Amino acid sequence: MMQPTALLVTVAGLDRPGVTAVIFAALSAHDVDVRDVVQTTNGERAQLAILIDLRGDAAALRHSVASTAKAFGVESRVIAAGPDAHVVHSTRRPRSRPGRSRAVAVGTTLRAGALGDVAKRVADVGGSIESMWQSSDDTFTGVEMSLDGDTARLRPALIASADETGLDMAVGPSGARPRGRRLLVLDADATLPDARLSPRVGTFVRAAHRVGCSVVAVARRPVPDRLVGLGLDDIVALHDVDETLRALADEQDVPVVRVLAVGDATDSSRLLAGASTAIAVDTGAARRAAADSSGRTGFLDSVLYVLGRI
């Protein structure tokens, strides 16, 4: 197998909508994994740094990046990087202000095409990525983003990306995580489709409790027997979404701004739209987790990763 070549791609210039998306699109034409990424804006100027592993022709990738950057009137550079290289992350995070959202895209690996899809969705609804930075743990790699734009348009666009990119996507209000206990509402029909997930759900609920979350499952059909005895704080039938979320928040004594919903982009769209923070998971991953005998919790671990970052 070809050993990847580490390259650092940097782009700088006027902050124009769509630049991030087209740079990632140019990278996605090549066999590229994203190891690290940072984007910042300062006034009217933006800087983007992407550390990649390339399997293929570095000269061809340089040409792709250079021609794309030139067409958008920004400067670019592609240089060799060492195996232990990383992008310097600022310790400063953007301040919260009205009209800004916070999003986290999560996967076991990050492909340039998937991140390009996310960035394009933001640009297509008139939004912009004000800043972006990468974080990771032993299992997952995530990209956290601070977004400007109409939340009512950004939110469904980003939720829909989970189905298309295979990344799990969380989106909610900007700013620091709310202090105090939170309420996590699982769409059982979409995310817990199989009784074989049950042992892992119990482990997940205990872990969520440790990080300050009550966990409730909702189901459109009669409450499944498979959900009983898993340590869930409640199991309820889902009728009117807004009414159900308000009632659950009251019962758990949690403000509505601390309510998070977990589901898929299609079947759970109303539930995800109604919660303060939406976590859209790849439902294919949920089904694979149900059939997986390895002991991995799949998307449930991804949700725990998100809880530490949004």
Tell me the three state secondary structure of residue 56.
Answer: coil
**CA-derived radius of gyration, the chain:** 20
- How far apart CA 26 and CA 28 sit, in angstroms, is 5
Catalytically annotated residue among 36, 168, 187, 282 = 187
Residue 309 to residues 123, 144, 145, 284: CA-CA distances in angstroms?
Answer: 23, 8, 11, 23
Is 187 marked active-site?
yes
Give alpha helix (H) positions in the chain.
19-28, 58-71, 112-124, 151-165, 188-191, 198-210, 241-251, 269-274, 283-291, 299-307
The 8-class DSSP code of residue 4 comes to P
Is 189 marked active-site?
yes
One-letter amino acid identity for 132?
Answer: M
For the chain, count helices (H), then strands (E): 10, 13
Q: Among 61, 4, 59, 74, which residue's Cα sits nearest to residue 28?
A: 61
**Residue 39 CB partners (closer than 8 Å, separation 6+):** 20, 46, 47, 48, 49, 129, 131, 132, 133
Catalytically annotated residue among 189, 264, 282, 301 = 189
- How far apart CA 69 and CA 183 sit, in angstroms, is 44
Joined together, the tokens standing for residue 299 give: 């998307």
Cite the active site residues.
187, 189
